[in-house]
A and B are shown apart, each in its own frame.
Chain A
Amino acid sequence: DTGVSQDPRHKITKRGQNVTFRCDPISEHNRLYWYRQTLGQGPEFLTYFQNEAQLEKSRLLSDRFSAERPKGSFSTLEIQRTEQGDSAMYLCASSPGALLGEQYFGPGTRLTVT
């Protein structure tokens, strides 16, 4: 299966700790997106990359959040000094980019901050 993969699937951390999530997109897709989803809500856009360039960041992405896609392949999302409000599902999606919005999602990383 060559779909989008995310690691880890679940992460429990204590408040104040740093966490890093990884996303491996579909190999030929040049766009990669990060979203956050809380219970009862749709995914909220965080940021996206075209190849290795980070083109857009949401205002939701505070200074504690940083994302990278160093070689235009996999991406990492780091949250520093986690807070309980960061508890959510973090979703990664990739897109071939030809048609805006046609995205293929990974299974997500469920973060719980205690």
Chain B
Amino acid sequence: TQLLEQSPQFLSIQEGENLTVYCNSSSVFSSLQWYRQEPGEGPVLLVTVVTGGEVKKLKRLTFQFGDARKDSSLHITAAQPGDTGLYLCAGGTMNRDDKIIFGKGTRLHILP
């Protein structure tokens, strides 16, 4: 059974601080996505990483895919209250079932 474990589960920090959240698995993924979800809404796609070792930046957010394509990290620089939300990682494999699995998410709260 493929699992994606996200850590930490909860994180509450002051505005302006930096943070990193993690997404780990024992399985290899052909691609991995990060989403942000706000209460009562669907997840919003932030980024897709495909190549081992790939780094992508989205303003103050930096996403990295592990060399072995089993793990990923999301680093936020100078966090702002607008970054508050549930951050989900999801992985897909090119198996016959083409199923995508989600982690349980990291709930991030940025204090003003």
The judgment on whether A and B are partners is yes
How many residues of chain A have a CB within 8 Å of chain B? 25
Give chain B nearest CB distance to A46 CB in angstroms: 11
A30 at the interface (CB under 8 A from B): no
Contact A43 B44 (CB under 8 A): no
Does the CB pair A105–B33 fall under 8 Å?
A: no
B32 touches A (CB below 8 Å): yes
In the complex, the answer to whether B88 meets A42 with C-beta atoms within 8 Å is: yes
Residues facing A in B64-112 (CB within 8 A) are 88, 90-94, 97-105
Q: In the complex, what distance in Å separates the CA atom of A93 from the CA atom of B35?
A: 13
Report how far A35 CA is from B102 CA in the complex, Å: 10
Q: Is the CB of A45 within 8 A of B41?
A: no
> In the complex, what residue of chain A is closest to B49 when comparing beta carbons?
A101
Known: A55-B98, A56-B99, A108-B42. A101 touches B48 (CB 8 A): yes
Task: Tell me if A93 and B32 are in contact (CB < 8 A).
Answer: no
Judge whether A103 and B41 touch: CB under 8 Å: no
- Which of B45, B94, B104 has the most chain A CB within a 10 Å cutoff? B45
A100 touches B103 (CB 8 A): no
Contact with A100, one of B41, B45, B100, B102 (Cβ below 8 angstroms)? B100
Give min CB distance, B98 to chain A, whole Å: 6
- Does any Cβ of B come within 8 Å of A79's Cβ? no
CA distance A45 to B90 in the complex (A): 11
Q: In the assembled complex, which residues on chain A have CB atoms less than 8 Å from the CB atom of B45?
A: 102-105
- Smallest Cβ distance from A61 to chain B, in angstroms? 13
A 78-113 contacts with B by CB, 8 A? 91, 93, 99-108, 110
Interface residues in chain A, defined as those with a beta carbon under 8 Å from any beta carbon in chain B: 4, 33, 35, 40-45, 48, 55-56, 91, 93, 99-108, 110
- Cross-chain pairs A/B with CB under 8 angstroms, 7 sampled: A41-B105, A45-B100, A48-B99, A55-B98, A102-B48, A103-B45, A106-B42
User: What 10 new A-B contacts, CB under 8 Å, besides A42-B90, A42-B102, A107-B41?
Assistant: A41-B105, A42-B103, A45-B102, A56-B98, A100-B98, A101-B31, A101-B33, A101-B48, A101-B91, A105-B45
